[in-house]
Amino acid sequence: MKELIRCDELKKFYHVGTQTVKALRSISVSIYKGEYVAIMGPSGSGKSTLMNIIGCLDTPTGGTYILNNTDVSQLADDRLAEIRNKEIGFVFQTFNLMPRYNALENVMLPLIYAGVGKHDREKAALEVLANVGLSDRISHKPNELSGGQRQRVAVARALVNHPSIILADEPTGNLDSKTSVDIMQLFSQIHQMGNTIILVTHEEEIAKHAHRIIRLRDGEIELDEVNQNIYTA
């Protein structure tokens, strides 16, 4: 398998007054194309910090982060923004949809930033909305959609650029249990289509949908294991 992500001795320190908070102490890990990985850990374990670095939302204090053969460890903000748009599809707990735009317009946004023409971006957005089961909701704005439908729009937006990675941060955190199951089934379908998924969660039941689980504690990897009991319900 192709190595998509490589983190070597990744560190992230924050200075709060006279204190130094070591959010990541020394993380070394590789993630390969086509993997479905869950990153877990209690509050303060460093999972959100690691997610921000993997998602090119932040840079490490030390160590290196190679994403798809590019060292992004210390790139400037404008270059990181380019890489985020090209390489990473984000799915957030709070959906992060633009309230003024309908489902189709929300899904097209990454393609606008990428400079794709109107005809091509509409075609691509319609295709991914169909793939997540929302062809009949393309003209609906977020406040006209259920929580599950809003998250499906967010998933479609994450897919539309054909990114290297789908990075999902607590994607079921604002959903009821039944809708959460539906969304996790959707992620399984996306993975079966060949997409690489990194799921950040604190919920064991959600993590068990992944094929590999990385557990963090106190800024370090406590356990990195293959999930022998993948949850498919």
CATH number where 154 lies: 3.40.50.300
Q: Which helix (H) or strand (E) holds 89?
A: strand 88-92
Over residues 3-14, mean pLDDT: 96
Over residues 15-40, mean pLDDT: 94
pTM of the predicted protein model: 0.92
Over residues 194-209, mean pLDDT: 93
Cβ pair 47, 221 in contact under 8 A: no
Q: Looking at the 3D structure of the chain, how many domains does it have?
A: 1
Structural domain for 179, as ranges: 36-48+76-226
User: 233 falls in which pLDDT band (50, 70, 90)?
Assistant: low
User: 16 falls in which pLDDT band (50, 70, 90)?
Assistant: confident
Residue 231 within a domain: no
Exposure string (b/e) for 131-148, b if CB count within 10 Å is 16 or more? bbebeebbebbbeebeeb
Residue 59 within a domain: no
Handedness of CA 203, 208, 212, 213 (dihedral sign): positive
Name 127's Cβ contacts closer than 8 Å, sequence gap at least 6.
Answer: none
What is the pLDDT at residue 74? 83
Residue 69 within a domain: no
Residue 3 within a domain: no
